[in-house]
Structure 1
Amino acid sequence: MSGAAPAIRVEGVAQSFDARVIFQDVSFEVARGEVFVVLGGSGCGKSTLFKQMIGLLRPTEGRITVAGHDTVAEVEAVRREIGVMFQSGALFGSMTLLENVMLPLTVFTDLPSAARAEIARVKLALVGLAEAANRLPAEISGGMAKRAAIARALALDPPILFLDEPSAGLDPITGAGLDRLILDLRAALGCTFVVITHELASIFAIADRCLMLDREARGMIALGVPRELKAAATHPRVRAFFNREEDPA
Structure 2
Amino acid sequence: MNDAVAIVVDAAGQRFGTRTIFENVSFTVATGEVFVVLGGSGCGKSTLLKQMIGLLPPTQGRISVRGHDVVTEVEAVRRDIGVMFQSGALFGSMTLLENIMLPLAMFTDLPARARAEIARIKLALVGLADAVNLLPSEISGGMAKRAAIARALALDPPILFLDEPSAGLDPITGAGLDRLILDLRAALGCTFVVVTHELQSIFAIADRCVMLDRAAKGMIALGVPRDLQRTSDHPTVRAFFNREAES
Per the TM superposition, whether the score is higher than 0.5 is: yes
- The match for 2:13 is 14
For residues 181-219 of structure 1, what are the alpha-carbon distances to aligned partners after superposition, in whole Å with 9 as ceiling and x for unaligned?
A: 000000000000000000000000000000000000000
What secondary structure does 2:134 align onto?
A: coil
Q: CA deviation at 1:168?
A: 0.1
What secondary structure does 1:55 align onto?
A: coil
- The match for 1:221 is 220
Runs of 4+ in 1 over 3 A off after TM superposition: none
The residue identity in structure 2 corresponding to 1:234 is: D
- Report the Cα distance in structure 2 between the residues aligned to 1:66 and 1:53, rounded to whole angstroms: 8
- Report the Cα distance in structure 1 between the residues aligned to 2:203 and 2:44, rounded to whole angstroms: 21
Equivalent positions of 1:96-245 (< 5 A) are 96-245=95-244
For residues 60-92 of structure 1, what are the alpha-carbon distances to aligned partners after superposition, in whole Å with 9 as ceiling and x for unaligned?
A: 010000011000000000000000000000000
What secondary structure does 2:5 align onto?
A: coil
For residues 145-183 of structure 1, what are the alpha-carbon distances to aligned partners after superposition, in whole Å with 9 as ceiling and x for unaligned?
A: 000000000000000000000000000000000000000
- Report the Cα distance in structure 2 between the residues aligned to 1:186 and 1:124, rounded to whole angstroms: 16
- Report the Cα distance in structure 1 between the residues aligned to 2:96 and 2:210, rounded to whole angstroms: 33
- Report the Cα distance in structure 2 between the residues aligned to 1:138 and 1:230, rounded to whole angstroms: 40
For residues 82-126 of structure 1, what are the alpha-carbon distances to aligned partners after superposition, in whole Å with 9 as ceiling and x for unaligned?
A: 000000000000000000000100000000000000000000000
- Report the Cα distance in structure 1 between the residues aligned to 2:102 and 2:55, rounded to whole angstroms: 20
Residue 64, structure 1, aligned to residue 63, structure 2? yes
Which runs of 5 or more structure 2 residues have no equivalent in the other structure?
A: none
Q: CA deviation at 1:137?
A: 0.1
- Report the Cα distance in structure 1 between the residues aligned to 2:176 and 2:7, rounded to whole angstroms: 27
Q: CA deviation at 1:4?
A: 3.9
- Report the Cα distance in structure 1 between the residues aligned to 2:54 and 2:137, rounded to whole angstroms: 30
- The match for 1:50 is 49
- Report the Cα distance in structure 2 between the residues aligned to 1:126 and 1:54, rounded to whole angstroms: 24
The residue identity in structure 1 corresponding to 2:65 is: V
CA RMSD in angstroms comes to 0.7
Aligned length: 246
Which runs of 5 or more structure 1 residues have no equivalent in the other structure?
A: none
Q: CA deviation at 1:141?
A: 0.1
- Report the Cα distance in structure 1 between the residues aligned to 2:246 and 2:47, rounded to whole angstroms: 23
The residue identity in structure 2 corresponding to 1:87 is: Q
Between the aligned residues of both structures, percent identity stands at 80
Tell me if structure 1 keeps the 8 A contact 2:91–2:136: yes
- Report the Cα distance in structure 2 between the residues aligned to 1:16 and 1:60, rounded to whole angstroms: 6
Q: If the length of structure 2 is used for normalisation, what is the TM-score?
A: 0.99
For residues 21-57 of structure 1, what are the alpha-carbon distances to aligned partners after superposition, in whole Å with 9 as ceiling and x for unaligned?
A: 0000000000000000000000000000000000000
Q: CA deviation at 1:5?
A: 3.5
What secondary structure does 2:130 align onto?
A: helix
- Report the Cα distance in structure 1 between the residues aligned to 2:3 and 2:236, rounded to whole angstroms: 33
- The match for 1:35 is 34
What secondary structure does 2:192 align onto?
A: strand
- The match for 1:90 is 89
Tell me if structure 1 keeps the 8 A contact 2:3–2:66: no
